[in-house]
Amino acid sequence: MLTTTNHPNSFADVEQTRPILGHVGLMVDTLISNASLEELRSFARATLASSTPTVTAAFTAAARSHLAKIRATQSLTAGTLFHHDGDVWRPTEELPKILERCRVLYGAGMGVAALTLLKEVVEKSVGVRWEEDSPVEQALAAIDADLCQAIQSAKEELDRAGEKDSDVEAAREAREKLRSALMASKHEVEEWEGDFPFESALWSVDLWKL
């Protein structure tokens, strides 16, 4: 009686000779396509935490390549980040989206691009008024923290690039434009005797020598 077990063209032989990587790749793609966003985040964190630094470097390099392709570094073109209803100012729904984009950029090691976007956020905050512990004050505190993180990311970006003249010039330009925006915000807030919300960021900018 014939069986397919030893037949060279049998399904079993095909399965045995198929590259394991291809089979795993298919399964992993199925996993990625069907897992929830929170599950994917958990998988990525667990994998990177248990891997060597080279794996993390490859992960962030892939992220930078993707972000460049989708033009995630482009400047803000429109949109109001703060609005007021009578005398009460509030952040708009657009602000968290912009900050998420900035965090993706500086988290992937694209700190200079993140600073360019955050500079525009600072500019759009000029003229806004807020009370202590208000949603606007909390949002501005988060922006201040993001600015500090993006500056650190930009420093690491320059180290990774070997401080090429073009990269240093781009970082220097981003730094100077950001400082100008911060100083404009500081002067405007002082006019209405408010508390300048970006003290940490301004301090970090002044310490960043290029």
- pLDDT reported for residue 172: 94
The whole-number pLDDT of residue 29 equals 85
Those residues with Cβ within 8 angstroms of residue 197's Cβ, 6 or more apart along the chain or in another chain: 125, 137, 140, 141, 143, 144, 185, 189
Of the listed ranges 8-17, 26-35, 118-127, 129-138, the least confidently predicted one is 8-17
pLDDT for residue 170 is more than 50: yes
Asked if the model's pLDDT at residue 92 lies above 80, the reply is: yes
| pLDDT beyond 60 at 84 | yes
Quick: pLDDT tens for 41-57.
999 999 999 999 999 99
Q: Is 92 exposed, middle or buried (0-12, 13-18, 19+ CB in 10 A)?
A: middle
Tell me the C-alpha to C-alpha distance, in Å, between residue 59 and each of 9, 52, 56, 73, 194.
Answer: 40, 11, 5, 18, 42
Q: For the chain, how many residues are written?
A: 210
9 has a pLDDT exceeding 50 = no
The answer, yes or no, to whether residue 3 has pLDDT greater than 50, is no
Mean pLDDT computed over 62-82: 80
pTM, to two decimals: 0.82
Close Cβ partners of 114 (under 8 Å, ≥ 6 residues apart):
102, 103, 105, 106, 146, 150, 153, 154
Is the pLDDT at 6 greater than 80, yes or no? no
Average pLDDT, the chain: 86
Q: Is the pLDDT of residue 10 over 50?
A: no
Tokens found for residue 144:
């201040």
Q: What's the pLDDT score for residue 8? A: 43
Task: Name the residue type at position 192.
Answer: W
At 139-167, the pLDDT tens digits run: 999 999 999 999 999 999 998 877 677 78
pLDDT-based confidence at residue 74 (cuts at 50, 70, 90)? confident
Domain boundaries, given as residue ranges, for the chain: 82-207
The answer to whether residue 35 scores a pLDDT higher than 60 is yes
